[in-house]
Amino acid sequence: MIKTRFAPSPTGPMHLGDVRTALFNHCLACRPLVGERVPERMRPAFVEAIRANVLLPADALLWVGILYGDDIKISDAAARVLVGAASGFFDEALEICGRLADLSGLAGELKTRLGLSGKALFLPLCVALTGRIDTPDLSDLTALMPRERVRQRFAAQP
């Protein structure tokens, strides 16, 4: 069971941001899908990671499916990012995933090996993990997703 808290604003009357937060919390607390898929110890980190990518309560459920579901839908724009990734990019990422104890060092290892930085480094990784261009930070994604899921998503790339 997820417990949420919605405190009144000390700055004055309720505004649109407060309503969004209340709806977001309600969605997380009431939907069994969240409880079934997001491990309890990961729930606070999950909420913080996706907060910037959630406009409607249903968006929270979308992110549950993306991070913990078996299948992701890749948009045309995201597919172009994957195809445009450096040669051997995902082979290197897979090899590094198998070797590192903590996936927080994934981007640094890839940067060293392939000489990439910025969007050329982070965007293909995030798109491979989520199927989307607008994603939470890579460090949040790799911390939240099970290692085997990360490896499966990298292995599925061209």
Instruction: Give the CATH number of domain 76-155; options: 1.10.10.350, 2.40.10.220, 1.10.10.10, 3.40.640.10.
Output: 1.10.10.350
pLDDT tens per residue, range 36-66:
667 777 777 887 888 888 777 677 778 888 8
Q: What is the pLDDT of residue 126?
A: 92
Q: What are the residue boundaries of the structural domains of the chain, listed by start? A: 16-68, 76-155
Mean pLDDT of the chain: 82
The yes-or-no verdict on residue 18 having pLDDT over 80 is no
Question: What per-residue confidence (pLDDT) applies to 130?
Answer: 92
Q: Is residue 110 within 8 Å of residue 100, measured between CB atoms?
A: no
Q: Is residue 14 exposed (0-12), middle (13-18) or buried (19+ Cβ within 10 Å)?
A: exposed
Rounded to whole angstroms, the maximal C-alpha distance in the chain is 54
pLDDT at 43: 76
Question: For 56, phi and psi rounded to 5 degrees?
Answer: -120, 155
- More reliable by pLDDT, 92 or 28: 92
Q: Report pLDDT for 133.
A: 92
- pTM tops 0.75, yes or no: no
As a whole number, mean pLDDT of residues 71-97 equals: 91
Convert the pLDDT of each residue in 102-121 to its tens digit: 888 899 999 999 999 999 99
